[in-house]
Structure 1
């Protein structure tokens, strides 16, 4: 389990909800993407920098577990961490909480393959050893 957990807060917008004011289920995947983007940025590496190095992180698998709905105008906190890191893939884990009451609404994971811009799989530990070492530090709790 990663010791580095990044938190990002957002307020539920009207356009993210259905007629009942409940967040549409697919929007949680968008929030997961916000969580991992901000995790990387906050830790000192952006998606743009990864892409400039020729490394892409396409989503290979996503899972979500819905517990309670978020609603229009709620404040939520997305908590993101690296759950697993291997030379060929990276798995992020997410939890979405309503704040300030700390109610867990949704949890989930996304698994990403390391690829080139042409979607050829790579071993990140060989292709970009510095990036792999940086991710490993995030996974193990250092920065």
Structure 2
């Protein structure tokens, strides 16, 4: 299984009055990890959308273990948990680089849909997208 590692440095704007990263920022970091993961497949989100496929979010979760703080250097590990013709589930680990501490873990589920938001079986209808993502899923 392929795991993409994205690096992020916590910005001041991402923290709250307590100096801890606000919970909503983790989902933005998941998006960074997911975007870089897809790029590693040899295509971008933009290229997938040009082929008439979109990946709307249908479910998300995040377990917060320890709060990240201003200027922490983080690694967002992204992998595919599950993939079939109609959906893809990504897993994420947010790790503080200095001590390798797991700070949060989560997942997002995305449907494969066309421009009319009808579910599409990419395995059958967009074999090139399926192949590129499958290589990283099975790697």
Scaled by the length of structure 2, the TM-score of the pair is 0.97
The reply to whether residue 84 of structure 1 matches residue 82 of structure 2 is yes
1:53 is matched with 51
* Aligned equivalents of 2:65, 2:79: Cα separation in 1: 20
Following TM superposition, by how much is the alpha carbon of 1:49 offset from its aligned partner in structure 2, in angstroms? 0.5
Q: How does 1:19-98 map to 2 (within 5 A)?
A: 19-98=17-96
* Aligned equivalents of 1:125, 1:91: Cα separation in 2: 15
Scaled by the length of structure 1, the TM-score of the pair is 0.95
Following TM superposition, by how much is the alpha carbon of 1:117 offset from its aligned partner in structure 2, in angstroms? 1.8
* Aligned equivalents of 2:56, 2:113: Cα separation in 1: 8
Following TM superposition, by how much is the alpha carbon of 1:43 offset from its aligned partner in structure 2, in angstroms? 2.7
- Aligned-CA RMSD value: 0.8
Following TM superposition, by how much is the alpha carbon of 1:63 offset from its aligned partner in structure 2, in angstroms? 0.8
1:17 is matched with 15
Runs of 4+ aligned structure 1 residues displaced above 4 Å come to none
1:114 is matched with 112
Size of the aligned set, in residue pairs, is: 139
* Aligned equivalents of 2:93, 2:26: Cα separation in 1: 10
Following TM superposition, by how much is the alpha carbon of 1:120 offset from its aligned partner in structure 2, in angstroms? 1.1
**Structure 1 residues without counterparts, runs of 5 or longer:** none
Q: Secondary structure at the match of 1:118?
A: coil
